[in-house]
Structure 1
Amino acid sequence: MTLDPALLEPRIRAIGEDLASRSSGMSPGLFDSRWWSQAAINLAMKDPAFKAQLFRFIDVLPSLKDDAQVVRLAEEYFGELSDQLFGAQWGLKALAATTFGAALSGKAIRHQVEQMATSFIAGASVDQALPTLQRLWGQGRAFSVDLLGEASVNEREADAYRDRCLAALRRLGEVCPAWSSSPLLERDHLGPLPRIQFSIKISALYSQLDPIDFESSYRAVAARLRPLLNVAGTLPASIIFDMEQAETKELILSIFMQLFDEEPYRTFPHAGIALQAYRTDTQEDVRRLLAWTKARQVPITIRLVKGAYWDSDAIRYRQRGWPMPLFEQKSQTDVNYESLVRVLLEQSHLIRPAFGTHNLRSLAVVEAVAEALRLPTAAWEYQMIYGMAEPFQHAMSDRGRRLRLYAPVGALLPGMAYLVRRLLENTSNESFLRKEYVESQPLSLLLSPPGVVPNHAASVRPTGHDGTHPAEAEFMNEPVSDFSRVPVRQAMAAALDHRRALLGQRLDVMKLALHPPTGPDLSSFNPSRPGELVSVVSSYQPPDVASLVKAAERHADAWKERSVADRVAVMRKAASLMRAQRWELAALEVYEEGKPWREADADIAEAIDFLEYYARDMARLDPPPHLGRYPGELNELYWTARGLTAVIAPWNFPLAIPTGMVAAALVAGNPVLFKPSERASAIGYQLVRILLDAGVPKGLLQYVPGGPDLGRELVISAAVRTIAFTGSKDVGLSIIEAASTLQPGQHVVKRVIAEMGGKNAIIVDETADLDEAVTGVVQSFTSYAGQKCSACSRVIVSDMVHDAFLDRLSDAVMSLRIGTADDPATQVGPVIDSRAKRRILDYIEIGRREGRVVVDRSTEGPGYTVGPVVIADIEPNHRLAQEEIFGPVLAVMRAASFEQALHLANGTAYALTGGLYSRSPRHIARAREAFDVGNLYINRAITGALVGRQPFGGHRLSGVGAKAGGDDYVKQFLVARVVSEQTLRRGFVPTL
């Protein structure tokens, strides 16, 4: 027989019919009544909203500490349906009215979900799983043990995962040799097979696993893997690398090949790796592995699976605007799988193919292709998941094929993510098991070839960034860079090398200016290496302001009178220029502001967003809209420029924030005097250069570097009509006060737009996912060394989880990498200068007196670095609970109830950002209405607001004015004028 599809299809159908016959009369365990109400699974497959609630409840259940909580959360998630779902004969609310009733119903609910979990989890420990594994072996089925646990959040957990793996391997090594022999399972076409196979999650072996830093990731993972391989080599045991989230694919693949190229493991005979057919590049990965295996001359196992992370990976890539690395149609994955089956079987002289699938047609395809290639039946194996597709397990065993079950082992808590993925897989519309056993689709349809649908990449730049820029097009954020891709990392490294050669240069202000600066030089230095000069620029002084104002005013009318379309086009040209110079700009931020790679790149992306978004918003205001539709009158709303704008910018977002303020003022038709922070004069220079290159007239926009005295002079200038400021509360309030004083010759009330500080809190309640909460809090208080007005500086934790959270948080903070900003491994870099460092260290000393220092890494790191510090037992009246620090210092507070937590969170003069980690629908709803902040983030980090998606800004003492990146921001730089004309003339009304 050949591999001609015309000849292969009849065999696929015949084999599929044979497998269906062998599995006849059986049903997968998921679809029978072994666990709780059958109504639940049926409803989940019919109602997507209910399905989401069901899986969320299953996810939160293990973290609930008492049975009353279980009942309360069941009611919150399901309401009246809870009675039906859990089989109660009376209302849960009535039953839970007594302590005994709550315990009874809570235990019943927990028991029913735990029963479901036992369908998919072989045991809570290896010892508990051994009877199941031995039973499987006796039934002629091999196993691959997977110790449950998602990515580690700290290095202690990574060590614990390694130790659990070592102990499990040794225990299996003690027990498995005594089992009866099974030639089918112990030998294949290439030689003997170990009885023990172990599947490893690489993300659990290193808490800081990150493709941006391959070398550190490899060193940490390899150090923990080598002891496992040493034990596996003596038992023997097979070690398989699981494939995980899409971002880590290249890293996992590279670690696999590099480790097994090391001399001690180059001849290790039982290494393997999983590959996902839903990836568009898996064919290429297979070719790489085959070439590597041929050179290494030792066979490996390739486990081909469809893939278990499609939902989460697809969402993450769409959120970030990255090219989708996955097929978007299930049929495309099936086509790719069948193609890969042929490739792997054709190369079975080099590798051990293992096919993970629960799809009847896929199983039949493997059989038919192997038959056509005349391969011995020992040349491949099937792998299925314990607790799934039992009828097909029986059919393949009955057919005399080697079958291995992927057997998860572990406690319910770490098993929830795994369990939810299995439920998603089984209940999805595309699930083969659902189609056959629930929907009873005919066998002819189930065995038909998958249809091919063109793959539409989700990241294709949508209308609005394609050069036409219609105002009505949906705004799409500029994607941050995907540092998991080698070319991206190389581009950033090359830009850093190029920029390093330019350090110390003098910037020629007169290339941007009409009036020469008269002040002293301003020098900026690298916060990572304080002796390293970045740039020198001449500054302006207060007496220069009058000349600067005159130069701006000479150009004001011509710019104001240009069409809105012209001004919009200039902003969009600037965005295009900024994209082209992205790496150079990011590299400059690394050196001048001490921003690590991702932070610098994100600042450039946000700056591009502001240019595009405000251009779009201005375009939407033109032509003047009509107000009302009444006969005989014409009412129009005109927007005109307010006049000269002073922009006073900060250093912490040295490109994004000034770009937003300057672009909004310019596109609205105003001249701008732009004063960058003295600590960001070089990046401010580049912003003005780009805008002038894009077509902003020289003189209309002026680059005016200088000190605080220059800023004060700009604020009080009678000619300045709008002041856009971002910075500290004290400076912001002084600007508001000064701007309120009428100056001689001033005929306009100045408008002040001020984004100021915050004392931002994250609440962690008793239902929170602590993995996510720890990771999110750490990111929120340490990213860019805590120098963000949105950064978390207080975490308010429920008494019930306080100690467990604090322990894991402390270990996570101790696991962070501190270093220079130009090192891709660095997660916490320096603060901006010595003054900032002294201020932060002073607050740490205050914290020592007020609370209990849990983590203190303040003395670690180069240059102006202040490592992260965590201080517990902080009370509401403490300075650490009230004052903005602007550094990586976290105050930890306890709350006895959720209402108290909200009271503590709202108990400062600020109202900027806040966060909540909770899986309680009631608490989430309450926070939405009562957490008094400008930006509230639920179950995610509280930094990194995106233009158009999370317009940013607070109230109280956190600022005045419309939110940056929102629909009202540009209007602040405009005057609204209404023109009303009566159109009725002697009984005649023109048609408008």
Structure 2
Amino acid sequence: MAQKKSSTSLNQNIEQRTQELGQQMWDLLERREPSMFEKRWWDDRILSWAMADESVKVQMFRFVDVLPMLRSHESIVRHLHEYFEDVRKHLPWAVRIGLELSQPNSVLGRALALNARSNAQRMASRFIAGSSVEEVHSTIDRLRSDNLTFTLDLLGEAVISEVEAEAYLQSYLDLIAGLAPRVRKWSENVQLDWDSQGHLPRTNVSIKLSALCSQFKPTDPAGTMAAVQPRLRTLLRSAMKYDAYLHIDMEQNSYKPLTLEIFKQTLMEKEFRDFDNAGIVIQAYQPQAEQDLMDLLKWTKKRKTPIWIRLVKGAYWDYETITSQYHHWPIPVFQEKWESDVNFEKLSQILLKNYQWLRPAFGSHNMRSLANAIATAHELDVPPSAYEIQMLYGMGKEQAQVFAEMGHRVRIYTPFGELIPGMAYLVRRLLENTSNDSFLRQSFTEHVNLETLLMNPAKHAKKSTKNKSTEEPESGFQNEPLTDFSLEESRTQMQEALEMVSDQLGKEYPLLINGRAIDTKATITSRNPSHHSESVGTVCSASADDAIDAIDAARRAFPGWSKTEPQYRSEYLELIAANMRRKRFELAAWIVFECGKPWEEADGDVAEAIDFCMYYADQMRNLAEPLDCNVPGEENSYFYRPRGTVAVIAPWNFPLAILTGMTAAALVTGNTVVMKPAEQSSVVAAKLMDLIHESGIPDGVVNFLPGIGEEVGPELVGSPDVEMITFTGSRDVGLAIHETASNTDLRQKMVKRVIAEMGGKNPIIVDDDADLDEAVLGVMHSAFSYAGQKCSACSRVIVVESIHDAFVKRLIEATKSLKIGPAEDPGTIVGPVIDEEAQQRILEYIEIGKEEATLALACESPELDEEGYYVGPHIFTDVDASCQIAQDEIFGPVLAVMKAEDFEEAISIANDTLYALTAGIYSRSPAHLLKARQELVAGNIYLNRNITGAMVERHPFGGFKLSGIGSKTGGPDYLLQFLIPINITENTMRRGFAPTADGGDDEEKE
């Protein structure tokens, strides 16, 4: 009780002191607002104007973001018109007139472009300390003269290749080596150069660990650590040599566990164990932050050397929230600002109570948060020199000066680099400065009263409009969340599943016809494409007679199954989905071994299979309700009946998802099924058959018929007792099925329906204003993930000429960093191709490409050649649109790069193919994005994202031309193809009267 009273008394004293300090700082700040004669005053007016209108703010920030890629005044003026056309009435009159009168080639247009670029660069120079070494030196000298110190952060393009990672490392090594002699000459400043534990390094830099490695992959912590640690050690040695401080910035939540682990493991090494000039960030907007802080405290005491902790609220709130909602993952950050503020104060107290181990640096512009930290330090008798205040360069200059004058060490987080590539950083700072909850906005723009600004954030809890306990769960279909492999628990489960399945390899699997297991003399041995000497299993191979038996079993089961209520059929699908969830990692492991899919791809395959079951179950419930159109004397009912027996012929590249999707659609609509998987993936298909059997679906409704396509295919396609064929695979086989099915057998009772998805030759256009960081990664992963063995994979990239060389250079270097290896290795991105036949076909196309174009990159893996069926990524340039490698579907990691003179030609090249499956574009021109929507010929068009990874309901999938027959899988029309619409009309009038709606008659009531 005494301790509780003591804690309560402490908090009361801290609150009182917080209010006093807040009032004191506010009084000082009010006298320090910039005057209209200062550049910042005008910048603030621009920001205030932008803040007042959300639509203008969005367009202004988007324009600033694209500006670095606009190389001519014509392009700048065109984008100004495109971005601000819809919000023109919201603009100041002078700006409206300028836009209305300017044309790209006019004198006024040139002036407008020059003014736009110079204003953006001027704004960038406020938040970015300089682009050259001399400018950076000048900035930190100026900070020093203002009694402020610094930490430097290098801006630039995202690190997407090992060349760029090495350049990032070298830039910091040069910075430390060049800066140390200069700052050593400064006169001593006790306030800045000393803390309670001794002398502080004057050179202070902040780095991101993800920039030390082009493949920073939480799925593969061991591989990522092996890549990052050597470079981190080099930086630490340089810091020790030159008496510099090295700080590790924190990024998105998925990187956090790995970032903390690399930091702790490296600094625990004997060489660095006594190095105390290092630190890391803790983000208070994460509920997990307190536990992270306590773990660091425990680790630091074990290490016996203190570290610094930069406590911040967090800068990735939008990203974390949107990404989590997209994946249906738990949101890892607080959803209301007051929660982050409360946590910041709580963590501040923990830091100050342990300041000798965790040396506090409070990074914030929120006066309440900083006043509370200082008040807490005062009440805990922590000397001011034991902690520091950190603020962003270009923001809250007056605040920084006030804290410095109060005797605090203030460190300015100072980004530097070229202004134009640094625009992305500028946009983030502008967004932060103009967010609705920004302290700076509330205090200086909206003039919120001091009492509100200094209110204890815990009091907001009572006013919160969100009540988590009463939030209703989302209804209707929801996509199955992908596994988050950044979590150790998920990685452990996957690894255990791989080990368990490895012990089950080599088993035998029979046919299953009418509920009976049938062994055959002929068998198919399924081999692991990562290690072709390893048998995944032996599957019985059906004959034509077995196919006849399976069709007969399905035909006889049809009457009973077709009469099963749609509600019950939907429940069967939901039971299958539940079984898949229960065996999720096990199923993914089988896919890894049998089809060579890396972890994330295999997991996505299982998640999509679950989605198909759940989505089609939900859709069938809706379709089961008859549509009534009644009039007096007549009742009309429109409803659906199943077709009959469906032959499902599936591919190997999505061994569970596509087979499940086609089978589930047939089942839930009341049809019976003969399920013929690809030879290469028959073991995974056997596992699906087990799940179907476990769900309790009656015998004969689904019949498992693995076999050689040439032997059982003709019977499945040609049988008069098969009413429908659904197929996914190559164009040639799909067209042959369509031709055979169209020849009506006189024994048929119905014209056969064929659904066929037959591949593509999918393009991505890279416009001259594209974000190259995003475009390179999007093209690379679309082309080479799963070794390019997706029908949606990018096989052609069409690049506008002005950026062609820069794009190709970065694409080649980024692709070199992709890990080629066995699928069970969590670091693998490019696994094997499916079998020897596929390998030879792809190699033949590579030889054709060498004759037709320029081989710009060939990623070889000689150490793997004897182990499995490996083909590394290949990139061809100087490819003409008529080349064979630009027209034929190769189905492997071969990418053709084509140059287009302009965007119009790029569209023309993209459409010059027999296929129309997927297509994509990277552009920041609204006009060009609209043109792509209207003119790109493809079933699925993706704007500013990769073109693979379609999700059920969100991205119904399928093409036209020679890419497919039928409606999109995973979409609202798909089930209709498995149904026959029926309309029944009944005349209800007898002798001049008819029943009323309530069952009576139409007699006139007195």
* The two structures share one fold, judged by TM-score above 0.5: yes
SS of equivalent to 2:920: strand
Residue matched to 1:678? 679
Q: Does 1:176 align with 2:178?
A: no
Contact 2:512 2:703 in 1 (8 A): no
Residue 512 of structure 1 and its aligned partner are, at CA, apart by 7.8
How far apart, CA to CA, are the structure 2 residues paired with 1:774 and 1:429? 34
21-30 vs 894-903, greater mean Cα deviation: 21-30
TM-superposition CA deviations, 1:735-755 (whole Å, max 9, x none): 000000111310100000111
Could you tell me which of 54, 77, 83 is aligned with 2:60? 54
Residue matched to 2:855? 853
Name the CA shift for 1:479/1:504 in 2 (closer, same or farther; >3 Å): same
Q: Does 1:667 align with 2:676?
A: no
Name the CA shift for 1:512/1:590 in 2 (closer, same or farther; >3 Å): farther
Could you tell me which of 832, 835, 841 is aligned with 2:834? 832
Residue 54 of structure 1 and its aligned partner are, at CA, apart by 1.4
Where in structure 2 are the equivalents of 1:24-173 lying within 5 Å?
24-27=30-33, 34=40, 40-79=46-85, 84=91, 90-92=97-99, 94-96=101-103, 98=105, 100-149=107-156, 151-173=158-180
Residue 679 of structure 1 and its aligned partner are, at CA, apart by 0.3
TM-superposition CA deviations, 1:546-602 (whole Å, max 9, x none): 222222222211111111111111110110000000011000011000000110000
Aligned partner letter, 2:368: R
Aligned partner letter, 2:75: Q
Q: Does 1:335 align with 2:342?
A: yes
How far apart, CA to CA, are the structure 1 residues paired with 2:641 and 2:471? 32
Residue matched to 1:21? 27
How far apart, CA to CA, are the structure 1 residues paired with 2:420 and 2:93? 20
SS of equivalent to 1:304: strand
Could you tell me which of 735, 744, 747 is aligned with 1:745? 747
Residue matched to 1:452? 461
Residue matched to 2:1004? none
Residue 514 of structure 1 and its aligned partner are, at CA, apart by 2.8
Q: For this pair of structures, how many residues does the alignment match?
A: 983
Name the CA shift for 1:111/1:897 in 2 (closer, same or farther; >3 Å): same
Where in structure 2 are the equivalents of 1:594-605 lying within 5 Å?
594-605=596-607
Could you tell me which of 292, 300, 304 is aligned with 2:299? 292
70-79 vs 525-534, greater mean Cα deviation: 70-79
Aligned partner letter, 1:869: H
Residue 455 of structure 1 and its aligned partner are, at CA, apart by 11
TM-superposition CA deviations, 1:81-134 (whole Å, max 9, x none): 679569558534533353544332211110001110111111113321111101
Name the CA shift for 1:151/1:532 in 2 (closer, same or farther; >3 Å): same
Residue matched to 2:16? 10
Could you tell me which of 857, 871, 888 is aligned with 2:876? 871
Residue 261 of structure 1 and its aligned partner are, at CA, apart by 1.1
Aligned partner letter, 2:193: E
Aligned partner letter, 2:584: R
SS of equivalent to 1:819: coil
How far apart, CA to CA, are the structure 2 residues paired with 1:357 and 1:85? 33
Contact 1:211 1:483 in 2 (8 A): yes
Name the CA shift for 1:651/1:758 in 2 (closer, same or farther; >3 Å): same
Aligned partner letter, 1:405: I
How far apart, CA to CA, are the structure 1 residues paired with 2:995 and 2:53? 55
Contact 2:510 2:520 in 1 (8 A): no
Residue 456 of structure 1 and its aligned partner are, at CA, apart by 7.9
Could you tell me which of 722, 725, 739 is aligned with 1:723? 725
Could you tell me which of 324, 329, 334 is aligned with 2:331? 324
Residue matched to 2:448? 441
Residue 987 of structure 1 and its aligned partner are, at CA, apart by 3.9
Contact 2:507 2:538 in 1 (8 A): yes
Could you tell me which of 888, 911, 917 is aligned with 1:912? 917
How far apart, CA to CA, are the structure 1 residues paired with 2:562 and 2:59? 54
Contact 1:37 1:87 in 2 (8 A): no
How far apart, CA to CA, are the structure 1 residues paired with 2:874 and 2:257? 34
Residue matched to 2:414? 407
Residue matched to 1:979? 984
Name the CA shift for 1:88/1:547 in 2 (closer, same or farther; >3 Å): closer
Q: Does 1:702 align with 2:703?
A: yes
Residue 460 of structure 1 and its aligned partner are, at CA, apart by 13
Where in structure 2 are the equivalents of 1:326-475 lying within 5 Å?
326-450=333-457, 451-452=460-461, 463=473, 473-475=475-477
Residue 644 of structure 1 and its aligned partner are, at CA, apart by 0.3
Residue 30 of structure 1 and its aligned partner are, at CA, apart by 13
Name the CA shift for 1:98/1:902 in 2 (closer, same or farther; >3 Å): closer
How far apart, CA to CA, are the structure 2 residues paired with 1:987 and 1:663? 46
SS of equivalent to 1:548: helix
TM-superposition CA deviations, 1:151-188 (whole Å, max 9, x none): 30111111111111111111111210111111011111
How far apart, CA to CA, are the structure 2 residues paired with 1:534 and 1:225? 41
SS of equivalent to 2:764: strand
Name the CA shift for 1:830/1:673 in 2 (closer, same or farther; >3 Å): same
Residue matched to 1:781? 783
Contact 1:518 1:544 in 2 (8 A): no
How far apart, CA to CA, are the structure 1 residues paired with 2:394 and 2:354? 31
TM-superposition CA deviations, 1:921-963 (whole Å, max 9, x none): 1100110010110000111100000000000000000001110
TM-superposition CA deviations, 1:366-408 (whole Å, max 9, x none): 1111111011111110000011112211221121111000000
Could you tell me which of 759, 762, 772 is aligned with 1:760? 762
Contact 1:519 1:540 in 2 (8 A): no
How far apart, CA to CA, are the structure 2 residues paired with 1:121 and 1:459? 44
Contact 1:35 1:112 in 2 (8 A): no
How far apart, CA to CA, are the structure 2 residues paired with 1:162 and 1:418? 20
How far apart, CA to CA, are the structure 2 residues paired with 1:698 and 1:834? 37
Aligned partner letter, 1:216: G
How far apart, CA to CA, are the structure 1 residues paired with 2:195 and 2:436? 37
How far apart, CA to CA, are the structure 2 residues paired with 1:14 and 1:350? 29
Taking structure 1 as the reference length, the TM-score comes to 0.96
How far apart, CA to CA, are the structure 2 residues paired with 1:192 and 1:29? 38
Residue matched to 1:469? none
Residue matched to 1:969? 974
Aligned partner letter, 2:17: R
Residue 511 of structure 1 and its aligned partner are, at CA, apart by 9.1
Residue matched to 2:1001? none
Q: Does 1:250 align with 2:257?
A: yes
Name the CA shift for 1:498/1:373 in 2 (closer, same or farther; >3 Å): same
Residue 490 of structure 1 and its aligned partner are, at CA, apart by 0.5
Contact 2:88 2:96 in 1 (8 A): no
Name the CA shift for 1:694/1:856 in 2 (closer, same or farther; >3 Å): same
**Identity over aligned residues, as a percent?**
45
Aligned partner letter, 1:735: I
Contact 2:480 2:611 in 1 (8 A): yes
Q: Does 1:947 align with 2:960?
A: no
Could you tell me which of 770, 773, 791 is aligned with 1:771? 773
Residue 474 of structure 1 and its aligned partner are, at CA, apart by 2.9
Residue 150 of structure 1 and its aligned partner are, at CA, apart by 5.4
How far apart, CA to CA, are the structure 2 residues paired with 1:459 and 1:721? 51
Taking structure 2 as the reference length, the TM-score comes to 0.95
How far apart, CA to CA, are the structure 2 residues paired with 1:631 and 1:858? 76
Gaps of 5+ in 1: 465-472
Name the CA shift for 1:698/1:97 in 2 (closer, same or farther; >3 Å): closer
Gaps of 5+ in 2: 1-5, 999-1006
How far apart, CA to CA, are the structure 1 residues paired with 2:669 and 2:88? 55
The Cα RMSD (Å) is 2.2
Aligned partner letter, 1:49: S
SS of equivalent to 1:264: coil
TM-superposition CA deviations, 1:592-630 (whole Å, max 9, x none): 000001100000000000000000000111231223x64
Aligned partner letter, 2:718: I
Residue matched to 1:582? 584
TM-superposition CA deviations, 1:271-307 (whole Å, max 9, x none): 1001111111000000010001001011100000001
SS of equivalent to 1:800: helix
Aligned partner letter, 2:143: L
How far apart, CA to CA, are the structure 1 residues paired with 2:238 and 2:616? 60
Contact 2:78 2:104 in 1 (8 A): no
